[in-house]
Structure 1
Amino acid sequence: MASGNGGSAEYAIDVQGLGVRYNLRLTRKTTLRQSLATIVRRGEGERTFWALQDVTFRLVQGESLAVIGPNGAGKSTLLQALAGIILPSAGGLEVRGKVSGLLQLGAGFDQELTGRENIMLAGAFLGIDHRETERLAPGVIDFADIGQFIDAPLKTYSSGMRARLGFAIATSVDPDILLIDEVLATGDQVFRVKSKARVLELARAAKAIVLVTHDMTWVTEFCNRAMLIEAGHVVAEGEPEEIVRIHQEHSEASRLRKAAEAAALLGTDAAAAAALGARPPGAGAL
């Protein structure tokens, strides 16, 4: 996939010093003079954002790695890099084997096509020949269990139905490596139990699995390794129970910090109102 690293043949995934950088252009209304000045000062109006920095880990077949962390930490970016959707800006990664990714609801689907037609489309996208996709289709349809909607346009599906179909497709192709991004939180309880059983089946078949989730039950009951990412950096990696504990401690500390900042801001507003002789917002009548 991306740049290789020597001696990694035993690993399903080998990530060394991975960094992903985005160049963000700051948009603003400008006059003609300001626009000309920007051309002269090349690079002004742009800034660099590192979604991931110095991420290093290895995964062997049969391991299930949970990637957890707050929103915006870089978890989904990591999966996209592993899937080959985005390229590393620094470091390198090597992924060995057939990869199947369920990275977001409806990813790669055509909303105008039926569910059945989208199965065939997904097969082509995954590099499966038409005859093999036709062979797999009945099993996909049975597992998704969306009834007559299989012949309805995807735009009529609920998010749960799209998730069921996407999961059924992604796990039907016998992947060596399965990438899952939070989609297992969608759908009814029966399907969640069914999807968990399917993933466990893949794990027992010595597949390598990387799972991004906010469901700590999944982390502790299903995964044998966990990684905590915050602000694009790996903060901790190890036993799932320990990493979940660290994550919960960090989340609570963040919540308390934000509450203190909000209280300080409210206090500042009240002090300013008092200095102006006005009553603070929400104060009752005398």
Structure 2
Amino acid sequence: MPVSIDIDNLDKRFVMRHTRSIKESVLWLLKGRRGDLSRKFSALEGVSLTIQQGETVALLGFNGSGKSTLLKHISGVMLPDAGTVRIRGRVAGLIEVGAGFHPDLSGRDNVFLNGSILGMTEKEIRQQFDSIVEFSEIGEFIDTEVRFYSSGMYLRLAFAVAVHTDPDIFLIDEILAVGDEPFQKKCLAKIKELNEAGKTLVVVSHDFDMVRKVCERGVVLEHGRIVQDGTVSEAIGHLRAG
């Protein structure tokens, strides 16, 4: 099978500030703390990972392990400090509720905005519009400004747009946790449909039951490094043993 995602020796560091204002900085110095007021934190360190087309992969780990940061590099939201991320095909998915939505625009306008961000042409969006609205189940609110949407309504519309982009790679970061149970089941059914069509799926979640339903492979991260890569059951077992 061809490679969908190829990550080689990926590093990502963030600067952590010890102070947040000039006043705090002055107090820091007056107390004799003349050291650096910031430090670098390694979110990802030497991460290498290859995912084949059609694989269903769960990125697992405790909070702060680097899994969401890794997913954002796959999506292109973040750029690495070192190493490479190579992607084959169109990427879509849900990393944050409402990402790519403008609060002052209606749901209708945001379908076109978010669809274009995800790589759809205006013609494609128009062709898929009715199906997107039907899947989202928020037809009566489609011309309401999304600032008035609940998190569940955001999710419905965002997921509906994402799955209609015909992605080659679909990414999900804990996002299904905000939906109600019937819509979660609907989303899971759609995810399985995408996978049966040969799409690649990468999921970040703490919901082991959901992960078992949709993923075959599990990759565990600890402190920005991969420590386990095997079946999803092996990955969950590694986390529970720790």
Once superposed, what is the RMSD of the aligned Cα atoms? 2.1
CA positional deviation for 1:231: 1.6
1:144-164 deviation line (CA, Å, top 9, x unaligned)? 002311111111111111111
C-alpha distance in 2, partners of 1:230/1:222?
A: 22
| TM-score, with length taken from structure 2 | 0.92
Q: Which moved more, 1:190-199 or 1:82-91?
A: 82-91
C-alpha distance in 1, partners of 2:68/2:195?
A: 21
* Residue in structure 2 matched with residue 44 of structure 1 by the alignment: 36
* Residue in structure 1 matched with residue 113 of structure 2 by the alignment: 121
Percent identity between matched residues is 41
| TM-score, with length taken from structure 1 | 0.78
SS of the residue corresponding to residue 44 of structure 2 reads strand
Aligned counterpart for 1:147 among listed residues 111, 122, 139: 139
Instruction: Flag the 1:171–1:34 CA change in 2: closer, same or farther, 3 A.
Output: same
1:30 and 2:25 equivalent?
yes
* 4+ residue runs over 6 A deviation: none
C-alpha distance in 2, partners of 1:17/1:31?
A: 39
SS of the residue corresponding to residue 25 of structure 2 reads coil
1:261-280 alignment runs, 5 A limit: none
1:1-286 alignment runs, 5 A limit: 10-27=2-19, 29-31=24-26, 34=29, 44-250=36-242
C-alpha distance in 1, partners of 2:193/2:139?
A: 24
Unaligned 5+ residue runs, structure 2?
A: none
C-alpha distance in 2, partners of 1:211/1:107?
A: 17
C-alpha distance in 1, partners of 2:46/2:14?
A: 15
Query: Which is bigger in relative contact order (C-alpha 8 A, separation at least 6)?
Result: 2
Instruction: Flag the 1:31–1:215 CA change in 2: closer, same or farther, 3 A.
Output: closer
1:88-124 deviation line (CA, Å, top 9, x unaligned)? 1122111111111210111111111111110010122
CA positional deviation for 1:34: 4.8
Q: How many residues align?
A: 238
SS of the residue corresponding to residue 103 of structure 2 reads coil
SS of the residue corresponding to residue 134 of structure 1 reads helix
C-alpha distance in 1, partners of 2:231/2:28?
A: 58
CA positional deviation for 1:31: 3.6
CA positional deviation for 1:32: 10
C-alpha distance in 2, partners of 1:216/1:59?
A: 20
SS of the residue corresponding to residue 107 of structure 1 reads coil
* Residue in structure 2 matched with residue 284 of structure 1 by the alignment: none
